[in-house]
C-alpha cells in the first residue's frame, strides 16, 4: 500500500501554479498514481486544464445551492487521467470571507469522506498567492499537506512572494505543519533568472527542484482546455513536467 503523499503548491498570483499543478497531476497519473487536485483559490480555476477548460461546481457553490444535502457527486469532477478534481471556491468577489470559505470547504470534504472514497495516492492543494490568514494556512496544517513547493519566476515580485511564503511555512515549523521541500522555477525569461532563483533558494535554505522553461506549447494546451501532458504528450515541455513529477516524489519520499 502506498503512503498518501500530500502536497501544497504556493506562489505569487499568476505565476503558473495551477498550470504547474495540473500538469503535475497529469504526469503523476501517467505514472500510475491516483491523484486528487484541490483548488484552494476563490477564483476556482485550478482544475480547468484537467476538465476540458470548464469551470467545475465548487464546494461552496454546492453548499449555497444544496445546503446540507451536498454529496460528493456534487463537488467532485473526474478530469483527464482520472484525476479527482475539487475546487473549494469562495465568496462573491468583494464580500464574504475567502479564508473561512477554505475552512468550510475542507470541513465539507472531510465530512463527506472524500479521501476515504477516492483513496488518492497523491493529493495536490493548489493554493492562492500567499498565506494571508488562518484559512489559507489550512492546506499546510496537520492532516492536510505535508510538503510545500513554491512556484516562482525570476521576477522581483514573484521572488518576494516566494520568500514570504517560505517564512510563513518556517514560522509554523514548530507546530508540525508542512515542510518546504523546494522551489519550482517557472521561467519567464528574465535576465539571470536561474541565478536569482538560486539566490532565493539559498536565502530560504531550500533548493530548486525543477526548472520549467518558457514554452508556447503551454498556452496552446491552455487554449485547448488541456494540460500539456495530455495535449502534447511528446513535447519537451511534457517531459519537463514528467521530470518535475519525479523530483516532487523524490523530495516527498525524503
Partner 1 sequence: MISDASGGLPRYCHPYHGGWDVARIALDIPESRILFICPISCARIICLNAIKYDYKDRVDVLALTEDDIVSGAYEQKTIDAACEVLDHLNPKPKALILYVSCIDAMLGNDHSFQTQEIMDRYPEVNCLVLKMCPITRYSGDLPLVALQHDMYQALPMETVPKEKTVAFIGTNIAPHPESDLVRVLESAGYRALHIQASDDYRDYLAVRGASLNLCMMPFGKSACALLQQRYGTPFMPYFAKYDLAAIRETITKLCDTLTIPLPDLDAMERETVSILKKTAAEIGNTELIIDSIATLFPNELRKTLEDCGFKVRRIYGDSVNINAPDIDAGSVRMPVERSYGAGENVIAIGMVSSSFEGAQKTIDVFYDNGEWGHYGLRKLAERILDACRDPKSSQDVRKEAVK
> Catalytic residue positions?
12, 17, 43, 130
104 binds partner 1 (CB under 8 A): yes
Binding marks (x or -) toward partner 1, 34..63, rule CB under 8 A? -----------------------------x
- Contacting residue, 113, 117, 119, 133, with partner 1 by CB under 8 A: 133
Angle between helices 98-111 and 59-66 (to 10 degrees): 80
User: Residue 113: exposed, middle, or buried by beta-carbon count in 10 A (0-12, 13-18, 19+)?
Assistant: exposed
Stated length of the chain? 254
Least distance to partner 1, CB of residue 99, Å: 6
93 binds partner 1 (CB under 8 A): no
Instruction: Give CA angle at 176 (171, 177), nearest 5°.
Output: 65
> Contacts with partner 1 in 186-245 (CB under 8 A)?
none
Residue number with CB closer to partner 1 (1 or 174):
174
Least distance to partner 1, CB of residue 135, Å: 5
CA distance 156 to 159: 5
Residue number with CB closer to partner 1 (132 or 195):
132
Residue number with CB closer to partner 1 (33 or 125):
125
Taking CB under 8 A as the binding criterion, the range among 4-12, 118-126, 130-138, 225-233 that sits at the site for partner 1 is 130-138
The three cell numbers of residue 102 are: 477554505
> Contacts with partner 1 in 63-82 (CB under 8 A)?
63, 67-68
CA distance 34 to 39: 17
Residue number with CB closer to partner 1 (83 or 138):
138
Taking CB under 8 A as the binding criterion, the range among 34-42, 99-107, 144-152, 155-163 that sits at the site for partner 1 is 99-107
107 binds partner 1 (CB under 8 A): yes
Taking CB under 8 A as the binding criterion, the range among 83-91, 96-104, 114-122, 225-233 that sits at the site for partner 1 is 96-104
Whether the Cβ atoms of residue 138 and residue 144 lie closer than 8 Å to each other: yes
Residue number with CB closer to partner 1 (3 or 68):
68
The three cell numbers of residue 62 are: 454546492
Q: Residues binding partner 1: what is the number (CB under 8 A)?
A: 20
- Contacting residue, 11, 99, 154, 182, with partner 1 by CB under 8 A: 99
- Contacting residue, 120, 135, 154, 182, with partner 1 by CB under 8 A: 135
Residue position matching grid coordinates 514573484? 158
**Contact residues for partner 1 (CB under 8 A)?**
63, 67-68, 97, 99-100, 102-104, 107-108, 111, 133-135, 137-138, 141-142, 175
Amino acid at each position: 500500500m502506498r503512503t498518501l503523499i500530500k502536497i501544497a503548491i504556493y506562489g505569487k498570483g499568476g505565476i503558473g501554479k495551477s498550470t504547474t499543478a495540473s500538469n503535475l497531476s497529469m504526469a503523476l497519473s501517467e505514472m500510475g498514481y491516483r491523484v486528487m487536485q484541490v483548488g484552494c483559490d476563490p477564483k476556482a480555476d485550478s482544475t480547468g486544464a484537467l476538465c476540458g477548460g470548464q469551470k467545475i461546481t465548487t464546494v461552496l457553490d454546492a453548499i449555497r445551492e444544496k445546503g446540507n444535502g451536498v454529496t460528493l457527486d456534487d463537488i467532485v469532477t473526474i478530469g483527464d487521467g482520472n484525476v479527482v478534481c475539487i475546487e473549494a471556491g469562495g465568496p462573491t468577489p468583494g464580500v464574504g470571507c475567502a479564508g473561512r470559505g477554505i475552512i468550510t470547504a475542507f470541513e465539507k470534504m472531510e465530512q463527506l469522506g472524500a479521501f476515504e472514497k477516492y483513496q488518492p495516492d497523491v493529493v495536490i492543494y493548489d493554493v492562492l498567492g500567499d498565506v494571508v490568514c488562518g484559512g489559507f494556512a489550512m492546506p499546510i496544517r496537520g492532516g492536510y499537506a505535508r510538503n510545500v513547493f513554491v512556484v516562482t519566476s525570476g521576477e522581483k515580485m514573484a521572488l518576494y512572494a516566494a520568500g514570504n511564503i517560505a517564512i510563513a511555512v518556517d514560522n509554523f515549523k514548530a507546530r508540525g505543519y508542512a515542510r518546504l521541500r523546494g522551489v519550482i522555477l517557472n521561467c519567464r525569461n528574465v535576465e539571470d533568472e536561474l541565478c536569482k532563483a538560486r539566490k532565493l533558494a539559498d536565502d530560504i535554505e531550500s533548493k530548486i527542484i525543477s526548472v520549467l522553461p518558457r514554452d508556447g506549447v503551454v498556452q496552446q494546451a491552455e487554449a485547448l482546455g488541456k494540460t500539456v501532458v495530455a495535449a502534447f504528450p511528446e513535447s519537451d515541455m511534457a517531459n519537463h513536467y514528467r521530470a518535475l513529477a519525479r523530483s516532487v516524489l523524490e523530495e516527498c519520499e525524503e
